Amino acid sequence: MRDRGKTDLLNVVLPLPIPRPLTYAMEQGTSPPSAGCRVLVPVGRRRMVGVAWGRAEVIPDDIDLRTVIRVLDPEPLLPDSLMELLGWISAYYFYPIGKAVSEALPPGLLSARQKGIDKIISRHRQGRARSLHSDAWETPRSNLRLTRHQRKACDLVFPAIEQKRYLPVLLHGVTGSGKTEVYLRAARHCLDSGRRALIMVPEISMTAQTVGRFTSRFGSDVTVLHSGLTDAQRRDQWKKIRMGHSNCVVGTRSAVFAPLDNIGLIVVDEEHDPSYKQEARLRYHARDLAVVRARNQDAVVILGSATPSSSSLLNARAGRYTLLEMPKRVADSSLPKIEIVDRRSHGRRRQGKTETPRWLSGELGQAMNHTLSKGEQVLLFLNRRGYASFTYCMDCGHVFKCRNCDVSLTYHQTAAGNSRKESLVCHYCGYSVPALPVCPKCGGQAVQARGYGTERVASDLAGMFPELSIGRLDRDTASSRARLESLLKAFHSGEIQILVGTQMVSKGHDFPGLTLVGVLWADLSLNMPEFHAAERTFQLLMQVAGRAGRRDKPGRVIIQTYMPDHYVFSYITSQDFEGFYQKEFSLRNALSYPPYGRLINLKFSGKNKGKVIDAAASASSLARSLAKRMGGGSVEILGPAPAPMVRLKNRYRYQVLLKSRDIKALRQVCAGLVYHDAEFFPGSVRLEVDVDPLSLL
């Protein structure tokens, strides 16, 4: 047994599904590394790279400890502030600490292969980090005269940055009110004060424009972090930030893990956007982590949006956040006029010798012709990609479905030279087959594709306006960063006259020539089985409407719907934010849904349906027993129930939903379940804990 008289003990977190660090011994006479350094350690019969998590407490001498093989970093890879955040994440989201660290680090930094270790260490210590800057979209405009509301925001934020005071701000500014200029001025003040800034946007599609604006102000001091970078690029950017060569970071949700210390400002643009919530593995919400990180570092955090989330708005009204409102657009340009078109009474019409498409109403068609005749641009929004939403056989009724998921396959058309490639694709698992003209069930040839997506709309437009340039922006066309930026710049410059897109077009873009926005089917998000469906629809439609008329020309928005009597549309047409949220708050409060109640969704999945059902039933029974032991009805247990899409990627999915106004009681019940998971649930069934879920699908 080892003599521990002169041996230091080290806690190490490893990328394993275990709840706490493992303890290792250092070689005698060797000092332990600083917390945050990577180390190579033995685990069973293999070697793994972990992160030193500080010195260990004394443990009994009869426990034989294994020894750290090698210290990989001369200085900590993780700053103390990020380690503190990761510890909070592990506890709050019921997620193993080592797995949380693995999620935060760029890929490859915890590789245990010897060649990989040597290569990454060499790059980390000696290599030169590369800058990844997009071409600037705009020239520097730091001499712009601020509006009264912009000045008020800056006057509040600047002193807090200087005083190193935690200040959470909800910046509620209508589209085009100049929120980005406030972010730029605040970041400039932060950097001038010797502190560092983190700017977050919800999706990669927005990064190019935002990086361009920040680069035009701050030059090479800007670093980019998002999942669209290669592994090597992400490691290079991480290194550049950690070594202090960049003081301003712009990125998507994963940028919340940037290895920044001395943060003075965090900006979360479009804070309401659901893209900030990660829906796999570590199910964190980057907006919430940004608030926690700002609090830990005595920094200012600005949550900006034209349509704030209900949770942020309630926090502001309760005094937990400072609310700043920017109710007018820059230069007092007017908000667009919004009209609702009732599609229930519209049939097919003929325009000359051709029949107009089903997706186009007379009102929208006339508005498009009028707008295009003036040389202005049109944006058509449809949150569904592909050509047709499903394919079926008219003879026997067979619907073509994914073999791995309980969902219909989407029909796609892809140009291939002078021909076209037709395929049926699953948007959840990626399964794809050629589009067959013959039904596999009855052998009939009466196969039809129904519904419409962005591909079909763009194809119809090409036939209607052959002399114009038509663009399409969705996940298929934006498959690479270069294609995405090229398309956005072409529409921004006016080379494209009509742009068709999914929700990617609603994300903060500023197109100077765009005056008409058409929403083709506003009911898609409204009919989702989610408690926040109305809020999501309101936010989505107000955001896409805000793209119109942002300069000196008035904007017009036409929304087509089969549900014109739904309350959400009356608030959209009047652009009544206050009235809508009051309505939502009253409905949510009555049912104890967020932001008044809290939710934790326990997701069980596996390939054996019976075992999944049994595991979910056991969890539900145990949760009820734990809740009863704690005092009765403070925690409501819903389920077990099949997920709305019960089979995805060949795994059956069942859920148990915990709901309560008492967050402490809610977490105690969840902790009891997680503690007993190995005892109650077979290894073939996976349990995922989703704290504060945004989607129950």
Highest mean pLDDT among 420-424, 539-543, 671-675: 539-543
Is 9-126 assigned to CATH 3.40.1440.60? yes
Q: What integer pLDDT is reported at residue 192 of this predicted model?
A: 95
Domain residue ranges of the chain, discontinuous segments joined by + = 9-126, 148-331, 337-386+452-587, 388-451, 598-691
Distance separating alpha carbons of residues 304 and 307, to the nearest angstrom: 9
Average pLDDT over residues 11-17: 95
Q: What integer pLDDT is reported at residue 370 of this predicted model?
A: 95
What share of the chain in percent tops pLDDT 70?
91
pLDDT tens digits for range 596-645: 999 999 999 999 999 999 999 999 999 999 998 876 678 999 999 999 99
What share of the chain in percent tops pLDDT 90?
67
pLDDT tens digits for range 613-622: 999 999 999 9
pLDDT tens digits for range 142-190: 567 899 999 999 999 999 999 999 999 999 998 888 999 999 999 999 9
Selecting from 3.60.15.10, 3.30.70.360, 3.40.50.300, 3.30.450.20, what CATH number does the domain 148-331 have?
3.40.50.300
* Residues sharing a CB contact under 8 Å with residue 473, sequence separation 6 or more, in sequence order: 205, 454, 484, 487, 488, 499, 500, 501, 502, 504, 505
pLDDT tens digits for range 239-249: 999 999 999 99
Residue reference for tokens 């449809």: 382
pLDDT tens digits for range 43-60: 999 999 999 999 988 776
Reported residue count of the chain is: 697
CATH number of 337-386+452-587: 3.40.50.300
Q: How confident is the model at residue 117 (pLDDT cuts 50, 70, 90)?
A: low
Q: How confident is the model at residue 127 (pLDDT cuts 50, 70, 90)?
A: very low
End-to-end CA distance of the chain: 54
For 506-584, strand residue ranges (E) read 514-519, 556-561
CA atoms within a 13 Å half-sphere pointing along the CA-CB vector of 587: 14
Distance separating alpha carbons of residues 112 and 120, to the nearest angstrom: 11
pLDDT tens digits for range 198-231: 999 998 766 667 778 888 888 888 898 887 788 8
Q: What integer pLDDT is reported at residue 207 of this predicted model?
A: 65
What topology does CATH give the domain 598-691? Alpha-Beta Plaits (3.30.70)
Report the C-alpha dihedral over residues 52, 55, 58, 63, rounded to 10 degrees: 20
Distance separating alpha carbons of residues 227 and 255, to the nearest angstrom: 9
Q: What integer pLDDT is reported at residue 79 of this predicted model?
A: 94
Mean pLDDT of the chain: 88
CA 486 to each of CA 134, 140, 375, 469, 481: distance values in angstroms, whole numbers, following the listed order: 11, 21, 21, 14, 9
Task: Return the structure tokens found at 592.
Answer: 């104890």
Residues 267/304, Cβ–Cβ less than 8 Å: yes
Which residues pair with residue 172 across a beta bridge?
305, 325
Q: What integer pLDDT is reported at residue 140 of this predicted model?
A: 45
**Sign of the alpha-carbon dihedral angle for 563, 565, 566, 569:** positive
Residues 256/104, Cβ–Cβ less than 8 Å: no
Q: How confident is the model at residue 507 (pLDDT cuts 50, 70, 90)?
A: confident
CA 526 to each of CA 308, 539, 651: distance values in angstroms, whole numbers, following the listed order: 18, 11, 27
Per CATH, 148-331 and 337-386+452-587 having the same topology is answered yes
Q: What integer pLDDT is reported at residue 350 of this predicted model?
A: 52
Distance separating alpha carbons of residues 554 and 55, to the nearest angstrom: 64
Q: What integer pLDDT is reported at residue 415 of this predicted model?
A: 65
Distance separating alpha carbons of residues 370 and 560, to the nearest angstrom: 18
pLDDT tens digits for range 549-592: 877 788 999 999 999 999 999 999 999 999 999 999 999 999 99
Average pLDDT over residues 514-529: 92
